[in-house]
Amino acid sequence: MAQLPGLLLIELALHAAAFLCGIICASALTVAQGEFGGQCVLYGSVIYNGTLNLSSASPVSLCHFVAAISVLAAIFCFLSLLYGIYSGCFVEGEPERHWLKGSVALVATVLFFLLICACILRVGMDQLCASILKSAAALSCQEAQHRPWVSPYQPGRFYDNLYTAEAAAWVNFFFWCMLLLRLCLECVGKTSSQSSPSSDQPWNGERTPIIG
């Protein structure tokens, strides 16, 4: 069994952490959505007449988009984690990447969508909480989850779930930034290592007949 290089261990740890963050984000958002009967409460508004009621909600596809991006990113990290473990255990040294530039482009694309998801969660949650405070139903959005809501809503922990989803999304974004930085450094190092021998080769070829 080959010994895992230090950089590979760091990359595996980043993939594992990003996988957990993606699953946590999607799960917490799905649970919060289920507390409101499957409605997406991001960017929603409420009214208060003794009990809280959700007067408007976002399209369900918005929450599905955030959850789907988080799950797809988590699946990618899980597959990369399995491949990294396999390569580290059965391949001597650090595994060679044949599609390094393609991996950089793919990670950058996923990072862009993760940023969109994190912003959707942040702004959507702020708008929902602002509506709750405006209705004077509670002094804070966290307190509103303990207030009575119109049946069949049972949002006993909607704020905690949305906050967990948002925090996991931003942490996931950070880990993917580290993965992109890791790939960019490897790409720069590989490019410089390939250009150095080629630049010395013509000089050596011209010098050989003179020495001979």
Model pLDDT for residues 179-207, shown as the tens digit of each residue: 999 888 877 776 666 555 544 444 444 44
The answer to whether position 112 is within a domain reads: yes
Q: For residue 170, what are its two tokens?
A: 């931003």
Amino acid at 167: A
- Provide the whole-model pTM: 0.82
Q: Residue 5's pLDDT band (boundaries 50, 70, 90)? A: low
Q: For residue 25, what are its two tokens?
A: 């984000």
CA pair distance 30, 161, nearest whole angstrom: 9
CA pair distance 37, 13, nearest whole angstrom: 37
The answer to whether position 177 is within a domain reads: yes
- Average pLDDT on 92-102 reads 62
**Matching residue, tokens 């980043």:** 14
Residue 4, classed as helix, strand or coil, is coil
Q: Provide the pLDDT for residue 114.
A: 96
The answer to whether position 1 is within a domain reads: no
Q: Which domain holds residue 34?
A: 6-211
Q: Residue 24's pLDDT band (boundaries 50, 70, 90)? A: very high
Number of domains in the chain: 1
Distance of CA 174 to the CA centre of its chain: 8
DSSP state of 136: T
Amino acid at 164: T
